[in-house]
């Protein structure tokens, strides 16, 4: 049974290819976010770790980085007024994730190969951290970043003795 199938299409744009990856990762991410125990929102496995609700909210925000990368030429921390609003329930967490995912899908669906190859810059005022094509920013700061933090959520959940859902195949919990 296929939950999601990507067609082999030789005329596929780079953005359409990324969109397929994003949709695949979104399935696993959503399953993980559905299980976040908000009665343990402040829990963290180590004093240097993010609290559970903070980490889960960050994961829900990450598809939004794709939209921002496509629609802006840079992110300048000196001018960026970011205020984290941690989700306080599974419902608000999933609404945030679904909204960011929907916006990312819309941005990718209209992004040309020319646009996705244009340079994008991360800076703090005059200090430039990097400039690279948008496609690389999307893969590293959005997709890989999403997978990285989703895996962290998996560790948190394992330590809280919450059965883990399948991501790339059955988990030890599902095989029992």
Per-residue pLDDT tens for 129-172? Answer: 999 999 999 999 999 999 999 999 999 999 999 999 998 888 88
Position 39 scores a pLDDT of 97
Q: What is the pLDDT of residues 92-125, one digit of tens each?
A: 999 999 999 999 999 999 999 999 999 999 999 9
Contact at 8 Å (CB) between 159 and 22?
no
Q: Nearest CA to 118 among 132, 99, 129? A: 132
Position 2 scores a pLDDT of 47
Position 12 scores a pLDDT of 87
What Rg do the C-alpha atoms of the chain give, in angstroms? 17
All domains in the chain, ordered by first residue: 14-166 (1.20.120.450)
Position 9 scores a pLDDT of 59
Alpha-carbon 162 to chain mean position: 21
Contact at 8 Å (CB) between 156 and 150?
no
Q: What is the pLDDT of residues 73-89, one digit of tens each?
A: 999 999 988 888 889 99
């Amino acid at each position: 049974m296929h939950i999601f199938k990507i067609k082999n299409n030789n005329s596929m744009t780079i953005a359409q290819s990324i969109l397929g990856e994003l949709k695949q990762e979104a399935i696993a991410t959503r399953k993980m976010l559905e299980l976040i125990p908000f009665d343990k929102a402040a829990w963290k496995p180590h004093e240097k770790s993010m609290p559970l609700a903070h980490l889960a909210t960050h994961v829900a925000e990450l598809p939004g980085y794709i939209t921002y990368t496509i629609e802006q030429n840079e992110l300048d921390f000196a001018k960026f007024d970011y205020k984290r609003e941690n989700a306080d329930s599974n419902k608000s967490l999933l609404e945030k994730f679904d909204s960011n995912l929907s916006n990312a899908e819309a941005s990718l669906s209209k992004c040309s190969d020319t646009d996705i190859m244009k340079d994008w810059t991360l800076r703090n005022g005059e200090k430039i951290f990097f400039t690279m094509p948008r496609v690389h920013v999307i893969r590293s700061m959005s997709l890989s970043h999403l997978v990285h933090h989703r895996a962290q959520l998996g560790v948190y959940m394992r330590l809280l003795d919450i059965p883990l859902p399948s991501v790339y195949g059955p988990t030890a919990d599902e095989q029992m």
